[in-house]
Amino acid sequence: MQNTDPLESSQEALENSKEFAENFAKIAVQSQEIVTEFLNSQKNGNVDPDPLNIGKAFMEMTAQMMTDPAKILEAQTTLWKNYLDLWQNAALRATGQETDPLIKPEAGDKRFKSEEWSQNQIFDYIKQSYLLTSNWVQDTVAEVDGLDEHTKKKVDFYTKIYTDALSPTNFFWSNPDVLKKTLESKGDNLVHGLENMLDDLKRGKGQLIPKMTDETAFEVGKNIAVTPGKVVFENDLMQLLQYTPTTEKVYKKPLLITPPWINKFYILDLKQENSFIKWCVDQGYTVFVISWVNPDERHIDKTFESYMSEGILAALDAIESTIGETEVTAIGYCIGGTLMASTLAYLAAVGENRITACTFFAAQLDFEDAGDLLVFTDEEQIQMIERKMEEAGFLEGKDMAATFNMLRSNDLIWSFVINNYLLGKSPFPFDLLYWNSDTTNMPPKMHSFYLRNMYQKNLLQKAGALTLGGQPIDLSKVEIPVFVQASKEDHIAPFQSVFKDTLLFSGPAEFMLAGSGHIAGVINHPDAKKYQHWTNTKKTKYKNADEWMKDAKEHPGSWWPHWDKWLSKKSGPKVAARDPAKGKLKAIEDAPGSYVKVRAKSGKNSD
């Protein structure tokens, strides 16, 4: 039976109110400390109120809207009608009648998964009101005429960012899970949440960067990136890793993997259960992987061409020196694929056939339809990035991470704001998010070249428009077979854009579409039995991905075995396995090497 003693009940209520009061006193103190920390971080530098040049785009949009008052009135009328319909539904439900929701969250929207958002009439009304308003705002902005294509994309993108930020799930009083947690813990969740926020502010030196995972749970070389191997070569830009074979025989042609330098290579080797590198070794490939340096001011003069000459070309020389093979197959992932394609064109120009077959993972070569990242590459924003790189000597990795996180703000920003600050929880240990937080810096000359010549000017797909190593780059001169992988839900390298790779080379090109996104679409071990992939065996020369997709066949699970069948036929006969510890080049250290363990350094003006 419940305790009905009024004296004891009042005593319990008094203790609860006292605990609430103590916690909210702590909250007041911590809030003041947070404000002080933020102000102190800002006082030594000039803060640009509009670093991404968003204001100008929205001013242009507003000016265009004002030229058509009738359209504004029509939009306002539509919104008010939606509100009246919502009020009517809410009133009917309040009388006990069953009503269908006027609007529902999109499939996959995790923000409103709590039952309270549908069962509680108040929160259901708040949810539907927000969805109606945010959709109306986005639709109204998208229908504005008279804007150039880039300004339109910019306005559409940041409107989505703003409406996501205003979601009721992101605020204390309108999130039922947070209110419930606050009552249960007597405000203790908010105390811990403000502690987390203060820690993040100090860690970000005034920039609020929510922690995504428990970083103490992982250590590179200990419980991630543990596939055995050796560093067999290094220079000041990269280390070359050769992995220890697990089969008695291996394919004669080794496999060279060129990962992106925007992140670290161990996305391909997180843990044994999903390691692409280990899986390739187990299939009988002699695997070499480039591990890029984490740049600082010492690498200020490194260029895109440096990454070719001191990266891929140096790796090819080292492979020949240590195992005697002059021909390899290769993989280029993301920007590593952009570099790989450029290198293939350079090799074709100088008449060298050192790479005889190449695979591209989520790699763009024609940037006309490069997706939301194009929003960040107008002249004003590139100039802003170049100023930051000039001041620091490099582009800080946290700036790159912030850009990529904005592409999926609900998943990679606001979910952690809710978990860490409103619910007061510690982030869950997750190896993928640890990798995502292990950022890398960018050398200024290389990054400016990439942004301007690829994203802004789209020169790589134009024959002879770029010169590397003194040679005009022409992708059509590349005649080797290529395998192009893309992912259906990739927000960084849209599959429609990646498909264009197949149209730029002269040799045979096979396209394959994987389920999921930029990471999970690539890293999908067959044992996981997840997602799906599409192939198309017709010999038709398709003009675009949509045409290709109409004739494609869907297959369950990982695409890796399909790719293995393709690559194995191009890798030569089997030979005795090569131990990296016994090659002609003396092993420098164990894999994963020391370069990958270097954390991103902050710029000289960050303190």
Q: What residues act catalytically?
A: 334
DSSP 70: H
Where does 272-354 show beta strands of DSSP type E?
287-292, 328-333
The residue whose two tokens read 């050769």 is 242
C-alpha pair distances (Å), 47 with each of 42, 43, 382: 7, 9, 17
- Supply φ then ψ for residue 532, to 5 degrees: -160, 175
Helix (H) or strand (E) holding 56: helix 54-66
Which residue, 185, 182, 197, is CA-closest to 32?
A: 197
The residue type of 353 is: N
For residue 278, the SS3 value is: helix
Compute the distance between CA of residue 312 and CA of residue 354 in angstroms, rounded to an integer. Answer: 11
Which residue, 186, 175, 190, is CA-closest to 29?
A: 190
The residue type of 483 is: F
Return the half-sphere exposure (C-beta side, CA atoms, 13 A cut-off) of residue 147: 24
Compute the distance between CA of residue 366 and CA of residue 592 in angstroms, rounded to an integer. Answer: 33
Compute the distance between CA of residue 449 and CA of residue 446 in angstroms, rounded to an integer. Answer: 5
Compute the distance between CA of residue 44 and CA of residue 279 in angstroms, rounded to an integer. Answer: 50
Compute the distance between CA of residue 279 and CA of residue 567 in angstroms, rounded to an integer. Answer: 14
Compute the distance between CA of residue 133 and CA of residue 129 in angstroms, rounded to an integer. Answer: 6
Compute the distance between CA of residue 221 and CA of residue 597 in angstroms, rounded to an integer. Answer: 8
